[in-house]
């Protein structure tokens, strides 16, 4: 039924090893290198940083994020 | 039992490669080209923009949105 | 066990192609023609409008609404 | 293991065609005749009214309510 | 693996036909006689009353409560 | 894959018949003797007390807590 | 389809017996030694402490955290 479309998990797969912006429930945004994910959209970010007003406000290093808290993932361009 | 009705995922399928407005939980609205989706209503938007008061307030590029956060999808007409 | 009762999805089925009022989580109400739905109560509305104080405050055209956000559907009488 | 107990869905079944008060998440209460329900506790109310301070504040006619939004159902006595 | 422990549903079973205090999400508390329940912890209360400051503030009669809204059930001692 | 690790339910099992502090969604904390639990982390507390500022603010006796409302369980040391 | 990626649960497995920072829904952060976890991302922390403004504000000892409340886990570096 569906063709010529990008599947959401394929987009994440192509973003592996690249910088992504991750939006969480409640409005928080994190940036880091996407090192892995699974079908629940649980994510592994490396060099994760809290982004506030476009600036890195806090550094976390490696971070496992539960998919349940994720609103969006946007690969850097 | 049901006939002469449009199935929700068929409407999304017809909207592929077109501009859609996406409403998220909490009231946020995004606009972008619908490049893909899956049965969980996870979406791929290209050229995604935050819409506030009808204006693009922030640009995100490609964006994978988790279906769990989606309230509605409205294809541009 | 249950008899002489209307099943919720049957009521939606009879409302197809008619105007319905849809209540969403958070209190928002939309009106439009019910063009389709599925077992998750995902809905397709045509000519969807935001209703505030009984008035149409914003027009959306066709709208796919995720069942997870729906509180009630009330067919116009 | 359980005996001499009323099952929740049996209580709803006996309330069919009678007036019920329905409490929703967020505190809203609706009154109407229970015309049907299913195992997800999706409900069909006829002559549904918003109840505020014991008074009918708004009339909706027939209403399909998603079980996910329901806190309680109390049959009129 | 587990022994010498009380299973949560066994405790509810022993509380049948006795008065229980039920805590709901959002902080509301109800008191009534537990007339039934099922594995989803959907409850049937008879003579249900809203409890505020230790006093009965509102009477509901029979009430079916969806387990999804229940935080705790405490049998009277 | 995983070894030399404590499984969460094993920790609960060892805490049976001991005092535990239970954190609920919304920030409320309860203390009581853990008399039982199941795989959904539904809990049975005996002598449950609301803890506010380190003090017992309200006594509940036996309490069945739905796992869905539980944030953490911390055995007394 | 996916390769050269770290799976989220593998990252947790490597963090066993090390200090982790755990972010919970609502913004609370806890620090402790990760002693165990399961596929639901239920966690066992040893020496768990509430972290506020980078300081330990409250000590809990051993703590079982339900995965449903977890937003992220960040191993100390």
* CATH architecture entry for C14-68: Roll (2.30)
Residues 6+ apart with CB under 8 A from F53: none
Domain locations along chain C = 14-68
Nearest Cα to E40, choosing from E74, E9, E4?
E9
State the pLDDT at residue A54.
81
Which range has the worst mean pLDDT, C2-6, F55-59, G24-28?
C2-6
Q: pLDDT digit string (tens) for B13-47?
A: 999 999 999 999 999 999 999 999 999 999 999 99
Percentage of chain G lying above the pLDDT 70 cut: 95
Q: Is the ipTM beyond the 0.95 threshold?
A: no
Nearest Cα to E37, choosing from D21, B11, D8?
D8
Asked whether the beta carbons of E75 and E18 are under 8 A apart, the reply is yes
Check if E52 contacts D (Cβ < 8 Å). no
Q: Cβ contacts (< 8 Å) between A68 and chain G: which residues? A: 68
Q: Does the pLDDT of residue F4 top 60, yes or no?
A: no
CB count in 10 Å sphere of residue F77: 9
| Cβ within 8 Å, pair E71-F24 | yes
In SS3 terms, G4-66 reads as CCCCHHHHHHHCCCCEEEEEECCCCEEEEEEEEECCCCCEEEEEEEEEECCEEEEEEEEEEEC
Distance CA A24, CA A45 (A): 13
F59: closest CA of chain E, how far (Å): 10
State the pLDDT at residue E56.
85
**CA D32 → CA C4, D59, D76, G71, distances in Å?**
17, 10, 10, 41
Check if F30 contacts G (Cβ < 8 Å). no
Pick from D38, D48, D69: which is nearest to C8 by CB? D38
Q: Does the pLDDT of residue G4 top 70, yes or no?
A: no
Pick from B1, B6, B77: which is nearest to C35 by CB? B6
**CA D55 → CA D48, D51, D69, distances in Å?**
13, 5, 22
Count of alpha carbons within 13 angstroms of residue A53, beta-carbon side: 1
Q: Does the pLDDT of residue C21 top 50, yes or no?
A: yes
CATH of the domain spanning A17-72: 2.30.30.100
Mean pLDDT in residue range B66-75: 97
Q: pLDDT digit string (tens) for D1-48?
A: 444 578 999 999 999 999 999 999 999 999 999 999 999 999 999 999
Pick the CATH number of B16-75 from 3.40.640.10, 2.30.30.100, 2.60.40.10, 3.30.1010.10: 2.30.30.100
Q: Does the pLDDT of residue F57 top 60, yes or no?
A: yes
Distance CA D41, CA D44 (A): 10
Average pLDDT, chain G: 91
Q: Cβ contacts (< 8 Å) between A13 and chain G: which residues? A: 1-2
The pLDDT-based confidence of D72 (bands split at 50, 70, 90) is very high
Q: Helix, strand, or coil here: E64? A: strand
| Cβ within 8 Å, pair C62-B75 | yes
Q: Does the pLDDT of residue B2 top 50, yes or no?
A: no
Helix (H) or strand (E) holding F28: none
Q: Does domain D23-70 have CATH number 3.10.450.50?
A: no
Pick from E7, E27, E71: which is nearest to F66 by CB? E71
State the pLDDT at residue A51.
93
Q: Cβ contacts (< 8 Å) between G42 and chain F: which residues? A: 8-9, 41
Question: Per the structure block, which two tokens stand in for C34?
Answer: 């019910």
Mean pLDDT in residue range G15-24: 96
State the pLDDT at residue E4.
53
Q: What is the pLDDT along chain E (77 residues), one digit of tens a residue?
A: 444 578 999 999 999 999 999 999 999 999 999 999 999 999 999 999 999 888 888 899 999 999 999 999 999 87
**Is A in contact with E (3 or more beta carbon pairs below 8 Å)?**
no
Burial class (CB in 10 A: 0-12, 13-18, 19+), D55: exposed
Percentage of chain A lying above the pLDDT 90 cut: 79
* CATH architecture entry for G8-75: Roll (2.30)
How many angstroms from the chain centroid is the CA of residue B29?
9
| Cβ within 8 Å, pair A74-B63 | yes
State the pLDDT at residue E43.
97
Specify which residues E64 forms β-bridges with: D73, E44
Percentage of chain G lying above the pLDDT 90 cut: 79
The pLDDT-based confidence of C4 (bands split at 50, 70, 90) is low
Distance CA A60, CA A69 (A): 17
Q: Which of residues 3-22 of C touch D (CB under 8 A)?
A: 4-12, 21
Question: Per the structure block, which two tokens stand in for G66?
Answer: 């339900």
The pLDDT-based confidence of C56 (bands split at 50, 70, 90) is confident
The pLDDT-based confidence of G3 (bands split at 50, 70, 90) is very low
Nearest Cα to D44, choosing from E66, C74, E58, C33?
C74
State the pLDDT at residue B4.
53
G46-65 burial: b if 16+ Cβ within 10 Å, else e: bebbebeeeeeeeebebbbb
CB count in 10 Å sphere of residue E59: 12
| Cβ within 8 Å, pair F16-E1 | no
Q: pLDDT digit string (tens) for C26-36?
A: 999 999 999 99
Pick from F13, F35, F43: which is nearest to E1 by CB? F13
To test the contact with chain E by mutation, choose from F32, F36, F63, F64 the residue with the greatest count of E C-beta atoms within 10 A, namely F64
Q: Helix, strand, or coil here: C18? A: coil
Q: Cβ contacts (< 8 Å) between E17 and chain D: which residues? A: 4
Which range has the worst mean pLDDT, D73-77, E52-56, F7-11?
E52-56
Q: Does the pLDDT of residue G2 top 60, yes or no?
A: no
| Cβ within 8 Å, pair F41-G66 | yes
Specify which residues D22 forms β-bridges with: D30, D73
Pick from D1, D70, D74: which is nearest to E62 by CB? D74
Q: Does the pLDDT of residue A38 top 50, yes or no?
A: yes
| Cβ within 8 Å, pair F35-E5 | yes
Check if G39 contacts A (Cβ < 8 Å). no
The better pLDDT of the pair A38, E77 is held by: A38
Pick from A35, A38, A61: which is nearest to G74 by CB? A61
H-type helices in chain C, by residue range? 8-14
Q: Does the pLDDT of residue C3 top 70, yes or no?
A: no
Mean pLDDT in residue range C23-48: 95
Distance CA F64, CA F60 (A): 10
């Amino acid at each position: 039924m569906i063709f010529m479309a990008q599947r959401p998990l394929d987009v994440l797969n192509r973003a592996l090893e690249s910088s992504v912006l991750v939006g969480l429930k409640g409005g928080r945004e994190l940036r880091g290198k996407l090192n892995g994910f699974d079908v629940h959209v649980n994510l592994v970010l490396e060099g994760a940083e809290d982004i506030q007003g476009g600036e890195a406000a806090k550094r976390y290093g490696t971070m496992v994020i539960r998919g349940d808290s994720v609103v969006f993932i946007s690969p850097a361009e």
